[in-house]
Structure 1
Amino acid sequence: MKDLMTLLQERAGVQAAVAALAAKETGGAALSAEEVVEFTKLSAQFDDLSAQIDRIQAAERMAATVAKPVTGALPAQPKQAARQPGESLGIIVRSLVSSGGDPRAAAHYAETQCHAPDIAAALNTGTGSAGGFIVPPGYVPEVVELLRPASVVRKLGARPIPMPAGTLTMSRHTAGSTASYVTEGTDIAVSQPAFGPLTLSKKKLVAMVPVSNDLIRFSSPDANGLVRDDIVQGIGTREDQAFIRDDGTSNTPTGLRYQAAGGALIPANATVNVQNVKNDLGKAELSLLNGNVKMIKPGWIMSPRTLVFLQNLVDGNGNHVFPEIAAGQLRNKPYAVTTSIPDNLGAGGDESEIYLVDFNDAIIGEATGLIIDISKEGAYMSGGNLVSAFSRDETLVRAITEHDFGLRHIPSVAVLTAVKWKP
């Protein structure tokens, strides 16, 4: 039986799909026969989920109403300190590792060693799978929120949307309506905005994170945070690589680089000077503006090498060309830096890229769920060498999540290529 959080997430996903169909019709485009059937089906599914949610909430209210106070003295319980965001994930992982992956033993550890009775209850009633332990839905949003600072795409404003069924279809605006002047008595030409489908389907991301067993043995909130950060950083780094430069093959998302239109791939001027740098950045801005992009959440993504070059760039009088960089802005737009944009592209192996994106049009479809599995005997690759977790007194934590990425408006990304700017 699905719990309340799962049902709420499913209903949110259905509502998003209904809203996409409604937006298409509101924009003036008629729904196809298949879309009308789909709208009716989604409406019925929304009503069914709402009824299930209402019944569960009613049952919870009734249980609270008839609950009787416990008489007599109760043994003193240690006061549970307020947790940091995502610390619950660290407790879940530490508990599973300490128990060898047994959820019942993990529940005992969470209650007695971590003083987390809520997590103990979740572990006792949680769901196992052939691939590991499924983190209860109530704790998954904490992890997703922590990915925001770990992922530049999320940090700059890409919008996460629940995808509980594993797929999500939205309308993508491909062309606007047009107007024209006419003479008296002439028929008015009819034009409508053009829409196309944006279909997202879940892609499995697996992070393999070695965790020191010393951290597992510590029973402090700091240890919980370190375990949490190792896992989130592993997921966030690979997620950024996918959302920026993966090409959609081998069951990966299609990143910004391969969603950009051909005309939005703009080679930087081979002659590097102040005016050419300004001109190249302006070309990226002009690409979005010419595509009628609203520029609601515009932002730049670049490599660390590019950032240092722009920080050091001065004019003939020794003045910084982009002083606003110190405030986190470039040409009045926020920027983010990531090593997921390489500096070894091109025939000479010395080129990089700069991305300008209106992240209001960037969508991350998130299938609910996070699966955790552990191994104390496994091995992993580090620097090209095979490392034994057992010999290093480490535990391998495998975290599995599923998502996809897409743009609702293709002109919302421009890529400055062949960037050879070096400090």
Structure 2
Amino acid sequence: MDKILQMKQKRAGLIKQMREMVAGAQTAQRSLTEDEKTSYEALRNQAAGLADDIVREEELRELESKLPAPGVMASGSRDEKLEPGIRAARFVKVALLCARGHQMESVTDIAARMYPQDEQLRAVMTESTPEDGGYTIPQNLYNEIIPLLRQTGVTRSLGVSELPLPNGNLNLVKQTGAANFSWVGENKPITSSKVTLGSMKLSAKKLAGIIPISNELLRDSSLAADRFVRDEMVNGIAESEDITALYGSGTEYSPKGVTVACADQKIAVDNVLTDEIIYEMVGKLLSAKLNNPVLAWRIPGVLWAKLYGMQTASGSYIFRDEMKDGKLCGYPFVIDNNIKVGDDINGKTQIFFGDWKNFMIGVESALEIAISSDASFTDGDKSVSAFENDLTLMRAIVREDFGVRYNEAFVWADGVFSKGTKE
């Protein structure tokens, strides 16, 4: 672990002890005893000394970073600033090279050789233990990927609620009926009301994928190669989450998406899109009792032109001006090309509108990876050998589940024509 980080953690522990000592005396409504005062002063002196040490070490590093660095250190200091997710990608590449079993070096030796300036990477590689060629990306590195998922994936970008699933399961209580209050006269009985409660259970499901990576790319320590590995992981997870968030079947092995959880909120269109349909969808959610809703649209790209060009009978554009600012009927929209478009003559598709903070994503663990340079994978209807093509296969697994807390927080229009004319 980095020296400065160790000192900061130790200092935080000392301050915590000081706070607990003072809080205990306050709770007992007394002053500190003489022994406590002595202990408090000792802790304060230690914390002050550590603060001085931290400042001194940071000053030295700042001065050292401005010196001409010999050899590889010229390309980056020990405090190398990296884009989110790059260190996680480096972890994966080093783990892949080590787990292939073709290297005589240890995992830390490979990390030091490929990324000599990255001390944090060597630290986490030391802490990680492979099991049968598999690794779990440390939580601090996986947390770097979460912001990227929010940027890349449509679902997470809309402000969904993310929850941990520490034991793979979580029960969320939700209120399904409100307490009723009424006006009563003096000395008159108050009518009782009953608050009804329901629950929503999240149970971790396995999201898995196989990513073939060329062995030349693995051996390349450039930032471009690191970005490629990172983006392959992030984009694959994000796309799967986006599709499942809308169409997940909610079976034993698959999370439940909006179309299944909110089936009773569907507006069957089976015709061309009109402004009345948009207004109906907005009205449906505005009439629901939602707590501080933050509403947003998900529309397929094939409908953008129809909405942008929609006109009144007099020829005025209905939504064009606000769509230039990224809004539809007063609410932000995102283009989601994972929304299904039928191959029928009308290209039937859907539009989704909702309060996305009521869409829950529960995550049990960090990203798990396993490696093989001998296995094969399926590309369409063809089997491809990793060994014959000088590839290494990475199998990535995330355990998570989705759920909708309140069905009335979402509405979706089905059977919207993306082509053709009104029937």
Q: Which residue of 2 aligns with 1:145?
A: 147
Q: Which residue of 2 aligns with 1:90?
A: 89
**Alignment partners' CA distance in 2, 1:311 and 1:107:** 55
Q: Aligned partner of 2:218: which letter?
A: I
Q: Aligned partner of 1:99: which letter?
A: C
Q: Aligned partner of 2:95: which letter?
A: L
Q: Aligned partner of 2:87: which letter?
A: S
1:363 corresponds to which of 357, 360, 363: 360
Q: Is the CA contact (8 Å cut-off) linking 1:207 and 1:231 kept in structure 2?
A: no
Q: Which residue of 1 aligns with 2:308?
A: 311
Q: Which residue of 2 aligns with 1:27?
A: none
Q: Aligned partner of 2:300: which letter?
A: S
Q: Which residue of 1 aligns with 2:218?
A: 216
1:284 corresponds to which of 266, 281, 301: 281
**Pairwise CA distance, 1:383:** 3.2
**Pairwise CA distance, 1:132:** 1.3
335-344 vs 155-164, greater mean Cα deviation: 335-344
Q: Which residue of 2 aligns with 1:124?
A: 126
**Alignment partners' CA distance in 2, 1:313 and 1:385:** 45
**Pairwise CA distance, 1:318:** 5.4
Q: Which residue of 2 aligns with 1:328?
A: 326
Q: Which residue of 1 aligns with 2:168?
A: 166
1:401 paired with 2:402, answer no
Q: Which residue of 1 aligns with 2:27?
A: none
Q: For 1:234, what is the secondary structure of its paired residue?
A: helix
Q: Higher Cα Rg: structure 1 or 2?
A: 2
Q: For 1:90, what is the secondary structure of its paired residue?
A: helix
1:354 corresponds to which of 351, 355, 358: 351
Q: For 1:208, what is the secondary structure of its paired residue?
A: strand
Q: For 1:236, what is the secondary structure of its paired residue?
A: helix
**Pairwise CA distance, 1:135:** 1.1
Q: Which residue of 2 aligns with 1:249?
A: 251
For 1:170-189, list aligned pairs within 5 A.
Answer: 170-180=172-182, 187-189=189-191
**Alignment partners' CA distance in 2, 1:257 and 1:109:** 47
**Alignment partners' CA distance in 2, 1:141 and 1:296:** 27
- Taking every aligned residue pair, what percent have the same amino acid on both sides? 26
**Alignment partners' CA distance in 1, 2:107 and 2:324:** 47
Q: Aligned partner of 1:196: which letter?
A: G
Cα–Cα, structure 1 residues 310 and 213, in superposed 2: closer, same or farther, change >3 Å? farther
Q: Is the CA contact (8 Å cut-off) linking 1:101 and 1:373 kept in structure 2?
A: no
Q: CA-to-partner distance for each residue in 1:200-223, whole Å, 9 max, x for gaps? A: 111111121122333222211121
**Pairwise CA distance, 1:181:** 5.2
Q: Is the CA contact (8 Å cut-off) linking 2:173 and 2:197 kept in structure 1?
A: yes
Cα–Cα, structure 1 residues 261 and 180, in superposed 2: closer, same or farther, change >3 Å? farther
1:337 paired with 2:338, answer no
Q: Which residue of 1 aligns with 2:113?
A: 112
Q: Which residue of 1 aligns with 2:61?
A: none
Q: Is the CA contact (8 Å cut-off) linking 1:352 and 1:420 kept in structure 2?
A: yes
**Alignment partners' CA distance in 2, 1:318 and 1:131:** 65
**Alignment partners' CA distance in 2, 1:92 and 1:122:** 8
Q: CA-to-partner distance for each residue in 1:238-286, whole Å, 9 max, x for gaps? A: 1111121111114111111111151x1111262x36xxx1111122122
Cα–Cα, structure 1 residues 384 and 178, in superposed 2: closer, same or farther, change >3 Å? farther
Q: Which residue of 2 aligns with 1:33?
A: none
Q: Is the CA contact (8 Å cut-off) linking 1:208 and 1:234 kept in structure 2?
A: no
Cα–Cα, structure 1 residues 174 and 101, in superposed 2: closer, same or farther, change >3 Å? farther
**Alignment partners' CA distance in 2, 1:396 and 1:307:** 38
**Alignment partners' CA distance in 2, 1:337 and 1:203:** 27
Cα–Cα, structure 1 residues 131 and 282, in superposed 2: closer, same or farther, change >3 Å? farther
Q: For 2:323, what is the secondary structure of its paired residue?
A: helix
**Alignment partners' CA distance in 2, 1:377 and 1:309:** 50
**Alignment partners' CA distance in 2, 1:130 and 1:297:** 46
Q: Is the CA contact (8 Å cut-off) linking 1:369 and 1:401 kept in structure 2?
A: yes
Q: CA-to-partner distance for each residue in 1:354-382, whole Å, 9 max, x for gaps? A: 11110122221111221111222222222
**Alignment partners' CA distance in 1, 2:345 and 2:186:** 62
**Pairwise CA distance, 1:408:** 2.2
**Alignment partners' CA distance in 1, 2:328 and 2:385:** 45
Q: Aligned partner of 1:267: which letter?
A: A
TM-score normalized by the length of structure 1: 0.75
**Pairwise CA distance, 1:287:** 1.9
Q: CA-to-partner distance for each residue in 1:69-111, whole Å, 9 max, x for gaps? A: 99xxx99782243110000111011112222346973322222
For 1:294-305, list aligned pairs within 5 A.
Answer: 294=291, 296-305=293-302
**Alignment partners' CA distance in 2, 1:248 and 1:131:** 32
**Pairwise CA distance, 1:409:** 1.8
Q: CA-to-partner distance for each residue in 1:159-197, whole Å, 9 max, x for gaps? A: 111222211112112222334456777643222432211
TM-score normalized by the length of structure 2: 0.75
Q: Is the CA contact (8 Å cut-off) linking 1:309 and 1:422 kept in structure 2?
A: no
**Alignment partners' CA distance in 2, 1:120 and 1:283:** 56
Q: Which residue of 2 aligns with 1:419?
A: 416
**Alignment partners' CA distance in 1, 2:92 and 2:288:** 46
**Alignment partners' CA distance in 2, 1:129 and 1:238:** 26
Cα–Cα, structure 1 residues 326 and 396, in superposed 2: closer, same or farther, change >3 Å? farther
Q: Aligned partner of 1:88: which letter?
A: R
**Alignment partners' CA distance in 2, 1:385 and 1:312:** 43
Q: Where does the alignment leave 5 or more consecutive residues of structure 2 unmatched?
A: 6-45, 58-63
220-229 vs 401-410, greater mean Cα deviation: 401-410
Q: For 1:368, what is the secondary structure of its paired residue?
A: coil
Q: CA-to-partner distance for each residue in 1:291-350, whole Å, 9 max, x for gaps? A: 2124522111122212343234344565543222232221121222223321118x8783
